[in-house]
């Protein structure tokens, strides 16, 4: 027989209750906004650090790693945006636009 959990997982009861009160719309918007800011930070780091006095390995590794991070985060951003649009459509907040 499978044991049921109370839904707080690794968070305490207070943190679980607080997080449960946040609307999915707010969560989607915050996730997308934070992904954009992280991507901007990656771009700034990838542009700035190779021109500093760091080793050749880091001058190659940082832009490569930043590019990979940008690809990953842009994929998450698109997926989150699509989920957000679906959520808004299901909730009746936004009409589905077929192009």
* pTM assigned to the model: 0.75
Helix axes 24-48, 56-90, angle to 10 degrees: 160
pLDDT(99) > 60:
no
Percent of the chain at pLDDT exceeding 90 = 48
Q: What is the pLDDT of residue 20?
A: 83
For the stretch 43-85, pLDDT in tens is: 999 889 888 899 999 888 988 999 999 999 999 999 999 999 9
pLDDT of residue 93: 83
Residue 31's pLDDT band, with cuts at 50, 70 and 90, is very high
């Amino acid at each position: 027989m499978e044991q049921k959990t109370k839904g707080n997982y690794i968070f305490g009861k207070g943190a679980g209750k607080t997080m449960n009160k946040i609307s999915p719309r707010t969560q989607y918007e915050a996730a997308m906004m934070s992904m954009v800011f992280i991507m901007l930070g990656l771009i700034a780091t990838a542009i700035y650090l190779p021109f500093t006095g760091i080793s050749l390995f880091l001058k190659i590794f940082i832009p490569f790693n930043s590019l990979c991070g940008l690809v990953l985060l842009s994929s998450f951003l698109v997926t989150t945006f699509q989920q957000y649009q679906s959520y808004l459509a299901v909730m009746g907040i936004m009409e589905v636009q077929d192009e």
